[in-house]
């Protein structure tokens, strides 16, 4: 969607007013309003959203162009002013510069001069908008970087926790392995079968149990009891 910049055109000379309105309409980005009454111009400035550009005659009945610009700048310090005058002096020029005047055109002006003044004002706001867009993009990038940094920090913390748990599990496995090996050695020493697995047949052959049949559950319970007693005899 095309960005629109609001412009108010003020001149008590209706022919000049129409010419300036024609010049503004040559720029699609301008949303133009006009008035030949400086008092009405000030009312519009006070009642409507801030204008980006004020294009005004300097000398008018009632309020001057500087009065109009002053009201606009009070409403919005970013408003740009373009003064058109049939005469001028150093004092009014200095005051106009303070009020944000970007161009100062003498009557009669050429349409090319007006086009250039309008393009300068438009370019000012387009550059400001680009700068604002860039700033927004930079802020979005910074936010994204911060979020990724927090994510990386969380992943590192989780990795440290997992590493600690893995170390503990490894140590526990090593302890279990050493305990099992000690038990097997102890059982082997008592049964005379080095490295032999503990089975009902092995226990029966060594007189540990009698010849009666045992269920698997009974065998596992006896096996556990034997290993526990053997371990206690070793460490106790």
Q: Is there a domain that residue 163 lies in?
A: no
Report the range out of 2-11, 63-72, 169-178 with the highest average pLDDT: 63-72
The structure tokens listed for 22 are 């024609």
Per-residue confidence (pLDDT) for residue 207, from 0 to 100: 47
Q: What tens digit of pLDDT does each residue of 195-234 get?
A: 445 555 555 544 444 445 566 677 677 767 766 666 565 5
Q: Would 96 be classed as within a structural domain?
A: yes
Cα 5 to Cα 118: distance, rounded to the nearest angstrom: 11
Q: What is the residue range of 123's domain? A: 5-133
**Residue 177: is the preceding peptide bond cis (ω within 30°)?**
no
Is the distance from CB of 99 to CB of 80 less than 8 angstroms?
A: no
147 pLDDT more than 80: no
Instruction: Count how many Cα atoms sit within 13 Å of the Cα of residue 132 in the half-sphere of its side chain.
Output: 6
37 occurs within a structural domain? yes
- Of the pLDDT bands very low, low, confident and very high (cuts 50, 70, 90), residue 128 is confident
Kindly report which listed range (114-118, 163-167, 213-217) carries the lowest average pLDDT score.
213-217
Query: What is the rounded average pLDDT of the residues 150-159?
Result: 76
- Spatial CB neighbours of 2, under 8 Å, sequence gap ≥ 6: 28, 29
Instruction: Tell me whether residue 33 is in a domain.
Output: yes
Q: What is the pLDDT of residues 17-63, one digit of tens each?
A: 999 999 999 999 999 999 999 999 999 999 999 999 999 998 899 99
Tell me the average pLDDT of the chain: 78
How many Cβ atoms sit within 10 Å of the Cβ of residue 214? Answer: 15
Q: Which CATH number covers residue 91? A: 3.40.50.2300
As for how many domains the chain has, the answer is: 1
Q: Does pLDDT of 235 surpass 90?
A: no
Does residue 169 form part of some domain?
no
In-domain check, residue 31: yes
pLDDT in the model for residue 163: 78
Asked if residue 70 belongs to a domain, the reply is yes
Of 78, 77, 80, nearest to 56 by C-alpha is: 80
With respect to residue 104, please indicate whether it lies within any of the assigned structural domains: yes
Tokens 């022919």: give the residue.
15
Query: 51 and 80 in contact (C-beta within 8 Å)?
Result: no
For residue 134 the two structure tokens come to 């860039």
Could you report the per-residue pLDDT of 167-191, keeping only the tens digit for each?
Answer: 777 777 777 677 666 666 665 665 5
């Amino acid at each position: 969607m095309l960005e629109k910049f609001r412009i108010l055109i003020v001149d008590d000379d209706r022919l000049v007013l129409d010419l300036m309105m024609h010049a503004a309409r040559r720029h699609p980005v301008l949303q133009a309003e006009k008035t030949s009454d400086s008092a009405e111009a000030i009312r519009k400035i006070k009642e409507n959203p801030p204008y980006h550009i004020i294009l005004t005659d300097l000398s008018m009945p009632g309020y001057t162009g500087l009065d109009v610009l002053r009201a606009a700048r009070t409403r919005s310090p970013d408003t740009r002013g373009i003064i058109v005058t049939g005469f001028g002096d150093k004092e009014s020029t200095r005051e106009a510069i303070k009020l944000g005047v970007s161009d100062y055109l003498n009557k009669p002006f050429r349409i090319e001069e007006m086009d250039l003044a309008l393009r300068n004002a438009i370019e000012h706001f387009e550059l400001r908008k680009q700068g604002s867009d860039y700033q927004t993009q930079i802020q979005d990038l910074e936010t994204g970087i911060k979020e990724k940094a927090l994510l990386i920090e969380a992943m590192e913390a989780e990795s440290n926790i997992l590493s600690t748990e893995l170390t503990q599990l490894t140590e526990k496995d090593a302890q279990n392995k050493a305990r099992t090996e000690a038990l097997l050695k102890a059982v082997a020493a008592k049964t005379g079968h080095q490295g032999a697995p503990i089975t009902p047949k092995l226990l029966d052959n060594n007189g540990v149990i009698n010849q009666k049949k045992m269920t698997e559950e009974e065998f596992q319970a006896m096996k556990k009891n034997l290993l526990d007693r053997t371990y206690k005899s070793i460490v106790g």
